[in-house]
Amino acid sequence: MDTATHLVMGITLGGLATLDPAISQNETAMQAVMLATIVGSNIPDIDTVLKLQNNAKYIRNHRGITHSIPAVMIWTLLVSALAYLFFPAAPYLHILLWSFIAVFLHVFVDIFNAYGTQALRPFTKRWVALGVINTFDMVIFLIHAFAIVLTFIGTDKGYTCLAAYILTGFYYVGRSIMKQNIESIVKKRFKNVEQVLISPTYRFYHYHLAIVTDTHFYVARARRGNIMIHDKFDRVPLPRNPVIQAAQKDHNISAFLSFSPVYRWDLFEYDDHYEVRFIDLRYRSKDYYPFVAIVHLDKDLNITASYTGWIFSEEKLRKKLNLIPN
């Protein structure tokens, strides 16, 4: 989920907390809990600062350890301690409870988009990405933004925000049913389907699909129950040759492979170097696949340049690899 939606959900969660008698009867407690729910609804994304270091660190770690089970406990304690520090007269156990709800809710809603989280660490590093909700979903944002507006004009905070969460719950259920319907349609149309990766879009009835069968990758779009295929690729296993093995040692390539569940690869040999390229098939924009990892190696298999991230043209990719001046 995006930062703006986490923010408005943190505010409405603080409003919902006023249904707690220990909060509603204490102005200091209301202020403390509002601080806790806003901070708690956003603090797991503190790992976004890793992007300042490099894309590989960000891709490998964003929504990783900071969204894990131990992290939820740690964030809860830190957020509740912060709120109690500013408002020591507030009831700490209630601050602790609402801090936990805020942090847990952040991680919980993040598993419903295509990016997902490693929410089950330390038990597994598997990415949990249900593909039900777009990273920014206008409906969810507007539900909570409208609830905030209503509370400012005088409606009851607790019940207004409760209504917002009930509507959000129904919306999630509706989206989940739509996803199941799409998966059912795909499995009827394609043979030997092993995996269907669904990425919701801004439009309610439009979904991007990456379909994995025993022999092919299909990149498609679902629209009102109809499946339209954009691309079809042979499913070729990654070979264990010296060039590929050397490429996998690169930090950008290893970060990409740790994150991407479905990709195609290419190996090119030139007069003075090799190029290995990995392309994530979940993301397609205007006939282009922008999420890539690429590495150049000399003939002695030394890595000379590499990059992973979002690129929307070959020219920009070459600039990232320092092959042409910026």
Which residue, among 183, 193, 284, has the nearest Cα to 230 in the 3D structure? 284
Lowest mean pLDDT among 34-38, 80-84, 256-260, 274-278: 256-260
Per-residue pLDDT, 325: 43
Which residue, among 118, 121, 3, has the nearest Cα to 62 in the 3D structure? 118
Q: How confident is the model at residue 261 (pLDDT cuts 50, 70, 90)?
A: confident
Amino acid at 14: G
Per-residue pLDDT, 62: 74
Residue 316 CA to residue 312 CA, distance in Å, equals: 7
Per-residue pLDDT, 97: 96
Stretch (H or E) spanning 247: helix 242-247
Question: 49 or 290, which is more confident?
Answer: 290
Stretch (H or E) spanning 230: strand 226-234
Q: How confident is the model at residue 324 (pLDDT cuts 50, 70, 90)?
A: very low
Residue 45 CA to residue 213 CA, distance in Å, equals: 34
Mapped onto helix, strand or coil, the DSSP state of residue 123 is: coil
Residue 13 CA to residue 143 CA, distance in Å, equals: 13
Question: 316 or 231, which is more confident?
Answer: 231
Amino acid at 230: H
Q: How confident is the model at residue 326 (pLDDT cuts 50, 70, 90)?
A: very low
pTM score, two decimals? Answer: 0.86
> pLDDT tens digits for 278-300?
999 988 877 788 889 999 999 99
The mean pLDDT value for 243-269 works out to 91
- Give the burial class of 239: count Cβ atoms within 10 A of its Cβ; 0-12 exposed, 13-18 middle, 19 or more buried: exposed
Stretch (H or E) spanning 317: helix 314-320
Q: Can you spell out the DSSP letters for 157-202? A: HHHHHHHHHHHHHHHHHHHHHHHHHHHHHHHHHSSSEEEEEEEE-S
Lookup result for tokens 């907390």: 17
The overall average pLDDT reported for the chain is 89
Is 90 in contact with 33 (CB distance < 8 Å)? yes
pLDDT higher than 80, residue 53? no
Residue 146 CA to residue 8 CA, distance in Å, equals: 10
231: tokens are: 């691309």
The mean pLDDT value for 103-129 works out to 88
pLDDT higher than 50, residue 260? yes
Q: Would you say how long the chain is, in residues?
A: 326
Which residue, among 131, 130, 141, 110, has the nearest Cα to 207 in the 3D structure? 131
Which residue, among 167, 164, 168, 169, has the nearest Cα to 19 in the 3D structure? 164
Residue 99 CA to residue 4 CA, distance in Å, equals: 19
C-alpha torsion angle, residues 149, 155, 156, 160 (rounded to 10): -50
Residue 234 CA to residue 306 CA, distance in Å, equals: 25
Lowest mean pLDDT among 114-123, 217-226, 266-275: 114-123
Per-residue pLDDT, 52: 65
Q: How confident is the model at residue 205 (pLDDT cuts 50, 70, 90)?
A: confident
Residue 282 CA to residue 134 CA, distance in Å, equals: 13
pLDDT higher than 70, residue 161? yes
Proportion of the chain in helix, strand, coil states, percent, rounded to 5 = 50, 20, 30
